[in-house]
Chain A
Amino acid sequence: MIVQALAFYLFAAVTVAAGFMVIAARNPVHSVLFLILAFFNAAGLFVLLGAEFLAMILVIVYVGAVAVLFLFVVMMLDINFAELREGFLNYLPIGLVIGGILLVELFLVLGAWAIAPEAAKFASTPTPPVEQIANTHAIGQVLYTKYMFAFQVSGLILLVAMIGAIVLTLRVREGVRKQRISVQVSRTREEAVALRKVEPRQGV
């Protein structure tokens, strides 16, 4: 148990420290790298909870895909750091309000279990206990049955977001020659090569 406790404090401390460094680092690329560190340690915390499926999905989706795209964009941006920091005090109240709301919500969620113990029971009823079933199966059992509607709706929202991004960035330029693989491959010798008799000093 000591090892688990030590591992928890290690992961938790690094998560918090990395999270702080995400907003404190001067270089945006460093920020993204600290964000990745925070994701990793959060995945470690999930493993300690016995939720190894969530841990792996967190690493695959957030670290393997989302953060790569973050890094991709941030690396290519030419950011003026001084300009970025100018508006800091303007946005501070809004940031504090949002952070405060999130904190209160977290307290409400966790506090509800302490105030009303039956709420905790309600939250854990959908799946059998962890000892009986692997959590991958447990998630599958409730996600595709009980929460099917929410699952489909979230998929639809993502689809709409994707289409929105495509519509915003799509531009049709005139006069661009594009690769047309089928046409290029199906070219025959007859239409591609022509034999000409060229007279000297006259050209084709």
Chain B
Amino acid sequence: MDELWSGYLLPGGIIVAQILALLVPLLVIVAFLTLFERKVMAAMQLRLGPNVVGPFGILQPFADALKMIFKETIIPTGANKVIFLAAPMLTFILAMIAWAVIPVGAGLVIANINVGVLYLFAISSLGVYGIVMAGWSSNSRYPFLAALRSASQMVSYEVSMGFIIISVLLCVGSLNLSKIVEAQRTVWFALPLFPMFIIFFISTLAETNRHPFDLPEAESELVAGYQVEYSSMSFGLFMLGEYANMILMCGMTTVLFLGGWLAPYPLPTPVWMGPFWFALKVTLLLFVFIWVRATLPRYRYDQLMRLGWKVFLPFSLAWLVLTAAVLVYFDLAPKTVM
């Protein structure tokens, strides 16, 4: 009995508590990100934005959530039911489980695994399945077009993202996300790898299907793309997953390029300040996400493909070779094993 308690129940309980401590704030942040986006966009377009529910419209996300929960889930007759219902769940689950490896502070990570970057890359590359499955199983034209667009778009931009991640890894010598952050104590990688930082950010825009690359849900041509047939909470899960993915991608950019939980000044900071700096950097990146949405028109599809394959891919490949050459020539490459 004692062994059962110390060997299984206690560690299991601790892990569950850690997961809840991460996911509950995350879901609250996701809810308020929708409000943040509407408020920021409204300010940029000289409107007021939501201001009725609660003071300054602060309770708007809860009103939206309640409305969504109480609506009826409609499954189209021609739809493939299992896949149709599995697709939003998959999108949501993938957006959640990726957070297991993101370090929000020194030692504040659920799973400090050796291949953290690869895990993140793997999970983010799976995001396409939610959209493809939704598009195919809806058995309708617009969602299907969106699924095709999304599949080729996400595969295209992953390639250059992979090269960018490799050039960061060359500077660190480890795939562990905490070690990547620690390696940025002297200088954040956004400075020495500056063009890669920008390309990575743009690629994350494409990877999360955000403006100006939101062709999978282009509302003016595909109505709402892969979400057309979804209603109620199955649509809500897509929304939640999409916004959680945005935060995840911003977190990934923060860890890889903006020094993660490190403070922008070189003084020693208490551990509890780590999540604060992390959240601040992520919020800044999210603001840019919204800023881009309010500013830029949508890309045409051939422009999107050209940017991914003919501009980003050669450039990131060349920069990868350059990074490796500089590291070797000036003998800067990390020596320590593991």
Quick check: A52 and B306 within 8 Å, CB to CB? no
B115–A56 contact, CB under 8 A? yes
Contact B125 A52 (CB under 8 A): no
Contact A36 B129 (CB under 8 A): yes
Write the chain B residue with the least CB distance to A55.
B115
Binary B-proximity of A162-204 (CB < 8 A = 1, otherwise 0): 0000000000000000010100000000000000000000000
Which residue from chain A places its CB closest to the CB of B128 in the assembled complex? Answer: A68
Interface residues of A, CB < 8 Å — how many?
26
Q: Is the CB of A71 within 8 A of B125?
A: no
Are B132 and A71 touching (Cβ within 8 A)?
A: yes
How far apart are the CA atoms of A69 and B118 in the complex, in Å?
20
In contact, B133 and A63 (Cβ under 8 angstroms): no
- Is A137 positioned at the interface, with any CB of B under 8 Å from its CB? yes
B148 at the interface (CB under 8 A from A): yes
Most chain A CB neighbours (cut-off 10 Å) among B8, B122, B337, B338: B122
- A64 and B158: CB pair below 8 A? yes
**In A128-179, which residues have CB < 8 Å from any B CB?**
133-134, 136-137, 179
Q: Is the CB of B115 within 8 A of A63?
A: no
Whether a CB of chain B sits under 8 angstroms from the CB of A3 is: yes
The answer to whether B132 and A63 touch across the interface, beta carbons within 8 angstroms, is: no
Q: Does A106 contact B (CB under 8 A)?
A: no
Interchain nearest-CB distance for B284 vs A (Å):
29
The yes or no answer to A21 lying at the interface (CB within 8 A) is no
Quick one: CB contact mask for A57-86 with B, threshold 8 Å, 1 for yes? 101100111001101100110000000000
Contact with A along B113-132 (1 / 0, CB 8 A): 11100110110011011001
Give 13 pairs: A residue, B residue, CB < 8 Å, sorted on A.
A52-B113, A53-B114, A56-B118, A56-B121, A57-B118, A64-B122, A68-B154, A71-B132, A72-B148, A75-B136, A76-B148, A133-B337, A136-B114
Is the CB of A12 closer than 8 A to any CB of chain B?
A: no
Q: In chain B, residues 122-156, which have Cβ atoms closer than 8 Å to a Cβ of chain A?
A: 122, 125-126, 128-129, 132-133, 136, 144, 147-148, 151-152, 154-155
Q: Are A75 and B132 in contact (CB under 8 A)?
A: yes
CA separation between A157 and B133, bound complex, in Å?
Answer: 33
A-B contact count (CB 8 A): 73
A33 in the interface (beta carbon within 8 A): yes
Nearest residue (CB) in B for A63 is B126
Are A69 and B306 neighbours in the complex by a CB distance under 8 Å? no
Given contacts A33-B133, A72-B151, A179-B302, contact A56 B337 (CB under 8 A): no
Known: A52-B114, A75-B132, A134-B338. A60 touches B121 (CB 8 A): yes
List B residues at the A interface (Cβ < 8 Å): 8, 83, 113-115, 118-119, 121-122, 125-126, 128-129, 132-133, 136, 144, 147-148, 151-152, 154-155, 158, 175, 302-303, 306, 337-338
A179–B303 alpha-carbon span in the complex (Å): 9
The A contact surface, by secondary structure, is: helix
Q: Which residues of chain B come closer than 8 Å to A133, judged between CB atoms?
A: 337-338
> What's the nearest-Cβ distance from chain A to residue B3, in Å?
11
Q: A33 contacts which chain B residues (CB < 8 A)? A: 83, 133
Which A residues touch B132, using CB under 8 A? 68, 71-72, 75
Closest to B86 in A: A33
* Docked CA distance A64–B126 (Å): 6
Complex Cα spacing A63 to B155, Å: 11
Whether A48 is near chain B, meaning CB under 8 Å from some CB there, is no
Task: Provide the residues of chain A in CB contact with B113, threshold 8 Å.
Answer: 52
Minimal Cβ-Cβ distance residue in A for B147: A75
Tell me, yes or no, whether A29 is within 8 Å of chain B by CB. yes
> How far apart are the CA atoms of A179 and B301 in the complex, in Å?
12
Residues of B within 8 A of A60 (CB): 118, 121-122, 125
Least CB distance, A29 to chain B, in whole angstroms: 6
Q: Which 9 A-B pairs have the closest CB atoms?
A: A64-B125, A56-B118, A59-B122, A60-B122, A52-B115, A72-B151, A56-B115, A134-B114, A75-B136
- Residues of B contacting A68 in the complex (Cβ-Cβ under 8 angstroms): 128-129, 132, 151, 154-155
**A59–B119 CA distance with the chains assembled, in angstroms:** 9
Q: Is the CB of B122 within 8 A of A69?
A: no
Q: A56-B115, A60-B121 are in contact. List 8 more A-B contacts (CB 8 A).
A: A33-B133, A53-B114, A59-B122, A63-B125, A65-B125, A65-B158, A76-B148, A134-B338
Do B337 and A181 touch across chains, with their CB atoms under 8 A apart?
no
Q: How far is the CA of A52 from the CA of B338 in the complex (A)?
A: 14
A60, B113: Cα distance in complex, Å = 17
- Kindly report which residue of chain A lies nearest to residue B114, judged by CB atoms: A134
Q: Which residue of B lies closest to A40 (CB)?
A: B126
Least distance between B155 CB and chain A CB atoms (Å): 6
The answer to whether B338 touches A181, judged by C-beta atoms less than 8 angstroms apart, is no
List chain B residues, Cβ under 8 A from A57: 118
A53 and B116 alpha carbons, distance in the complex (Å) = 10
Closest to A71 in B: B132
Instruction: List, in ascending order, chain B residues with CB within 8 A of A63's CB.
Output: 122, 125-126
